[in-house]
Amino acid sequence: MYEIRFYEDSRGCCPVDEFLDVNDVKVRAKFFKWLSKLKEMGPYFPRPYADVLRGKIRELRVIFGGNQYRFLYFFFGKKIIITHAFVKKTDRVPENEIERAEKMMIDFIHRHQRGDVEL
């Protein structure tokens, strides 16, 4: 079983919490349902629910009410770090969203190496 963590920047801001705060309770409920499956299955959570985007960046796919929600994440040992989320409006995941997740992953790893991030 994997442990889920939401990424927080050096000021304590959490993009996932901010995203969830502005979305419907039903969207949040479905997200947490799929999150529990991801927690159980880890990297073996199959398509169409999850997929690799590039390198270590993956996506959790949540569809609700005709909207496609994407939660980007990476593995850090037995931890799954959810970087951020967005509503997908194009066929492909926008490059800037993948780059944003990569920057958060690098920041997380550097701060962990310095001892600034507790696991």
pLDDT attached to residue 117: 81
Q: Note the pTM of the prediction, 2 decimals.
A: 0.94
Please report, in tens digits, the pLDDT of each residue of the chain (119 residues total): 999 999 999 999 999 999 999 998 999 999 999 999 999 999 999 999 999 999 999 999 999 989 999 999 999 999 999 999 999 988 899 999 999 999 999 999 999 998 888 77
Structure-block tokens of residue 4: 């889920």
Alpha-carbon distance of 53 to 57, in angstroms, equals: 6
Domains and CATH numbers, the chain: 3-114 (3.30.2310.20)
Complete edge-to-edge strand list for the sheet that includes strand 50-54: 3-6, 79-88, 67-76, 57-64, 50-54
